[in-house]
Amino acid sequence: MKGMNIIMKKKISSILLLLFIFITFITPHVMANSSLPGIAFTYSSPINANINQQYLYGKKRSDGWAHVGIDYPAPTGTNVGAAQRGVVVAAAYNSAYGNYIIINHPDDNWRYWTLYAHLNSISVKVGDEPNKGDVIGKSGNTGNSSGPHLHFEVRYRENTYGSTLNPEVLLARSRQSPRGAIYGFVSNRSNGSAIENVIIDGLVKDSSVAPSNRPFINLHTYVKAKGYGQMRDVTDFSMNYCTGQLTSGSYWVEYSHPSYYSFLDYISIASGGVIKRDVELRLK
């Protein structure tokens, strides 16, 4: 019996050692949920249209630049409203943005700006002070545009290209029918560096509904490109993925990349809720 106890103790020790190795060296770390600091969540969607899910913020464009805004496909002439109250600091035209407007907002001591591009027409001038929802122009297809849509950016700290935040996290709590948002930072566990092109897939955990009919998550971490280095998501808020399009519910979420061990997470998002989910993945 004494010999059996010794064998059992050795087996248990071996199992615990293997479990320690697995947790320490293979499984990712998931950081605690938290809210995004310094953001008032008082912004509203600038247009009555859906975000183009095929061309999200942080995607590398064909010309090598990062896509630093979100796009709303919409017929030419659709009303565009101010996402928040503020002061118009630009209402002009250039070859890239076409007709565009920039508004400076009071959040964080006037360190936020929103940009509305490819407009068909502009209804405001520099110095005007629109309130949230006031019509400032009409959507269009001007400048470097592949079709009628509104390009929308949120700039932070500096009113310059690339000094941006993903607008989706700011918009999540202010919709008429609020949706949830998840954002976070996926990094290499060994050195803390951002991992680009991690696929993030999620599905609502509801066996009563067919998988094809359930709300889902499908996005990727931002890809390094021209303009990436100044993205305030990465430099100021340690964020390299975000979506604000989530229906409330509980989700199974998988983080996968060919060079790293995949990780399956479980999250619950309330209507209008915003959570932070940081994940550290281990190289294979």
| Confidence grade of residue 244 (pLDDT, cut at 50, 70, 90) | confident
Question: In 3-state terms, the chain is what percent helix, strand and coil (to 5)?
Answer: 15, 40, 45
Whether the model pTM is above 0.75: yes
Which pLDDT score, from 0 to 100, does residue 208 have? 61
Answer yes or no: is pLDDT of 279 > 60.
yes
Q: Tell me if 146 sits within 8 A of 52, measured CB to CB.
A: no
Fold equal for 31-38+175-281 and 70-174: no
**Residue that has been written with the tokens 């700006």 in this structure:** 113
Once rounded to an integer, what is the mean pLDDT over residues 127-149? 96
Which pLDDT score, from 0 to 100, does residue 18 have? 43
**Residue that has been written with the tokens 């969540």 in this structure:** 41
**Residue that has been written with the tokens 């079709």 in this structure:** 147
- Residue 167 backbone dihedrals phi, psi, to 5 degrees: -60, -25
Biggest CA pair distance of the chain: 90
Once rounded to an integer, what is the mean pLDDT over residues 238-257? 85
- Highest mean pLDDT of the ranges 46-50, 99-103, 216-220, 221-225: 99-103
Burial 85-95 (b: 16+ CB within 10 A, else e): ebbbeebeeee
Q: What is the pLDDT of residues 169-215, one digit of tens each?
A: 778 655 545 677 888 899 999 999 889 889 998 877 666 656 565 55
CATH fourth-level superfamily of 70-174: Glucose Permease (Domain IIA) (2.70.70.10)
Which pLDDT score, from 0 to 100, does residue 90 have? 98
- Highest mean pLDDT of the ranges 28-37, 44-53, 220-229: 44-53
Q: What is the pLDDT of residues 19-38, one digit of tens each?
A: 444 444 334 444 434 445 55
Domain ranges of the chain: 31-38+175-281, 70-174
Give the range among 65-74, 77-86, 136-145, 262-271 with minimum mean pLDDT.
262-271
State how far the Cα of 199 lies from the Cα of 194, in Å rounded to an integer: 13
Which pLDDT score, from 0 to 100, does residue 86 have? 96
Residues linked to residue 241 through DSSP beta bridges, in sequence order: 184
Name the pairing type of β-strands 164-165 and 186-188: unpaired
Alpha helices by DSSP H, listed for the chain, are 2-21, 107-110, 167-171, 232-235
Which pLDDT score, from 0 to 100, does residue 201 have? 86
CATH fourth-level superfamily of 31-38+175-281: Carboxypeptidase-like, regulatory domain (2.60.40.1120)
